[in-house]
């Protein structure tokens, strides 16, 4: 029996209606930008396996560093112990994180990084005798699938069964460069009506919404307003972090810096799951007290797993290397040229790009997981490229190590796809 067939006996896949889509692609190997399936067919991973494997799959340098750590210290409880990989990772991260970040808290995945951020913001106000109970988030944002993260996510079409169990969140539109007054007025009115604990946002690029890019100055004005009103700002950089937008973090493009930052995905380069919630000294200080109950009682068993920390350190070493920085610039330039080339195509409604992220919207309207999307996914896979369209959006987020030739092939299959939609 093939893996494809055996899969269907006991496995339940995420984001799947198994009745309609019983079958999976069975991948047996990944190296650099290439995925190989059980029949030996190869695919270019043009979305870095959900934005994680940015230095290429099974990167030799990262594997070497991770393996060395595996032989030294595998796991230890982080509530009572500390270790060099966590300490070094905190030092290396603080060097590159946006100004103001000074404390590193560990989680296991993007959703729990957000969950911890939400709890930090609520408890910060609680500890400072300024109890607040409402969050603000962008329309169509995505922050994960646990309850807090699901609550702040605006992409809630699939959250129906849970709607009445979510925390209280009010939404504002993303700034588009023209709606400045509307956005700020909405925000001002909300802040008058409710006690707002925090504002959570995907800085500049809303990934799950289809790589929607919003306006830098508009976002900065929102953040400045929040600072003024003691609304804690939480930058969810789970997708945008570690070079995706051309800077180390998307927040580097924006003048007003966040109080709290959520990191995951490329943090551990696609090798091991881990996440971090970082914050400023001011936030941390609000938890210091002779009262135990003012501490932050949130913990995951694998917090600061030494192996994952070693992987993350190796990833940062690669990120800051001139080789990787040049790769990011090279891809960004190629995206710009490709965008210019296809933006006037009759099937293309709009194109956008920032750093290694490129997206185009088709003129055709379709459901997020509709037939067109399925048809396109298959079209790309049949031609040796893994792209995962969302609704009428086709987006690229290639590993930084992609060759010019591979990148050209990705563009080429997209152009070919425009002829069949």
Q: How far is the CB of 144 from ligand PLP (least distance, A)?
A: 4
Out of 33, 169, 238, 351, point to the residue binding ligand PLP (CB under 6 A).
238
Contact string 351-380 vs ligand PLP (x = CB under 6 A)? ------------------------------
Q: Is 45 a residue that touches ligand PLP (CB under 6 A)?
A: no
Helix (H, G, I), strand (E, B) or coil at 58: coil
Distance CA 177, CA 184 (A): 12
Q: Is 239 a residue that touches ligand PLP (CB under 6 A)?
A: yes
Q: Is 307 a residue that touches ligand PLP (CB under 6 A)?
A: no
Give the range of 16-24, 93-101, 104-112, 346-354 binding ligand PLP by CB under 6 A.
Answer: 104-112
Helix (H, G, I), strand (E, B) or coil at 419: coil
Q: Is 310 a residue that touches ligand PLP (CB under 6 A)?
A: no
Q: Is 263 a residue that touches ligand PLP (CB under 6 A)?
A: no
- Nearer of residues 106 and 142 to ligand PLP, judged by Cβ: 142
In 76-144, beta strands by DSSP E: 101-107, 134-138
Q: HSE (CB half, 13 Å, CA atoms) of 91? A: 8
> How far does the chain reach from its first CA to its final CA, in angstroms?
35
In DSSP terms, which residues pair with 138 in a beta bridge?
A: 172
- Nearer of residues 114 and 276 to ligand PLP, judged by Cβ: 114
Helix (H, G, I), strand (E, B) or coil at 142: coil
Distance CA 330, CA 312 (A): 24
Q: Is 110 a residue that touches ligand PLP (CB under 6 A)?
A: yes
Q: Is 276 a residue that touches ligand PLP (CB under 6 A)?
A: no
- Nearer of residues 121 and 334 to ligand PLP, judged by Cβ: 121
Q: Is 144 a residue that touches ligand PLP (CB under 6 A)?
A: yes
Give the range of 81-89, 108-116, 212-220, 293-301 binding ligand PLP by CB under 6 A.
Answer: 108-116
DSSP state of 350: E
| Residues 164-223 within binding reach of ligand PLP (CB under 6 A) | 202, 207
Out of 114, 260, 267, 307, point to the residue binding ligand PLP (CB under 6 A).
114
Distance CA 234, CA 258 (A): 6
Distance CA 350, CA 332 (A): 17
Distance CA 414, CA 45 (A): 14
Task: Output the six-digit token pair for 95.
Answer: 């060097």
- Nearer of residues 93 and 208 to ligand PLP, judged by Cβ: 208
- Nearer of residues 123 and 264 to ligand PLP, judged by Cβ: 264
Out of 111, 140, 303, 327, point to the residue binding ligand PLP (CB under 6 A).
111
Please work out the total of residues on this chain that contact ligand PLP, with binding judged by CB under 6 A.
13
b or e along 284-317 (b: 16 or more beta carbons within 10 Å of the residue's beta carbon)? bebbeeeeeeeebeeebebbbbbbbbbbbbbbbe
Q: What is the dihedral of CA 224, 229, 230, 232, to 10 degrees?
A: -50
Q: How far is the CB of 207 from ligand PLP (least distance, A)?
A: 4
Residues in touch with ligand PLP (CB under 6 A)? 109-111, 114, 142-144, 202, 207, 236, 238-239, 264
């Amino acid at each position: 029996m093939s893996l494809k067939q055996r899969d269907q006996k006991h496995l339940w896949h995420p984001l799947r209606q198994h009745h309609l889509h019983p079958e999976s692609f069975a991948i047996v190997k990944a190296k650099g930008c290439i995925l190989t399936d059980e029949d030996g067919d190869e695919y270019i991973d043009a979305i870095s396996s959900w934005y994680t494997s940015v230095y290429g799959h099974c990167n030799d340098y990262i594997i070497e560093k991770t393996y060395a750590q595996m032989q030294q210290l595998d796991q230890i409880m982080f509530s009572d112990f500390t270790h060099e990989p966590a300490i070094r990772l905190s030092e290396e991260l603080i060097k590159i994180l946006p100004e103001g970040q000074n404390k590193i808290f560990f989680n296991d995945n993007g959703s729990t990084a957000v969950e911890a951020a939400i709890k930090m913001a609520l408890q910060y106000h609680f500890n400072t005798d300024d109890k607040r109970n409402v969050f603000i988030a962008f329309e169509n944002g995505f922050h994960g699938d646990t309850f807090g993260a699901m609550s702040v996510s605006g992409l809630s079409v699939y959250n129906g069964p849970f709607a009445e169990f979510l925390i209280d969140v009010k939404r504002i539109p993303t700034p588009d460069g023209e709606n400045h007054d509307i956005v700020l007025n909405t925000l001002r009115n909300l802040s008058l009506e409710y006690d707002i604990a925090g504002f959570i946002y995907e800085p500049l690029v809303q990934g799950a919404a289809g790589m929607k890019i919003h306006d830098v100055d508009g976002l900065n004005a929102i953040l400045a307003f929040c600072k003024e009103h003691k609304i804690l700002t939480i930058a969810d950089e789970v997708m945008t972090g570690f070079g995706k937008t051309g800077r180390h973090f998307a927040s580097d493009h924006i003048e007003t810096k966040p109080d709290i930052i959520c990191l995951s995905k490329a943090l551990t380069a696609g090798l091991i799951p881990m996440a971090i919630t970082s914050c400023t000294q001011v936030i941390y200080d609000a938890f210091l007290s002779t009262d135990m109950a003012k501490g932050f009682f949130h913990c995951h068993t694998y917090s600061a797993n030494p192996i994952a920390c070693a992987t993350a350190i190796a990833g940062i070493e690669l990120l800051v290397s001139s080789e990787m920085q040049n790769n990011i610039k090279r891809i960004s330039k190629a995206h710009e040229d490709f965008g210019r080339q296809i933006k006037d195509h009759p099937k293309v409604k709009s194109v956008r790009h920032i750093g290694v992220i490129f997206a185009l919207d088709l003129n055709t309207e379709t459901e997020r997981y509709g037939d067109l999307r399925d048809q396109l996914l298959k079209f790309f896979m049949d031609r040796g490229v893994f792209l995962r369209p969302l609704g009428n959006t086709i987006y690229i987020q290639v590993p930084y190590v992609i060759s010019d030739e591979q990148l050209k092939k990705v563009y080429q299959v997209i152009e070919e796809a425009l002829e069949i939609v």
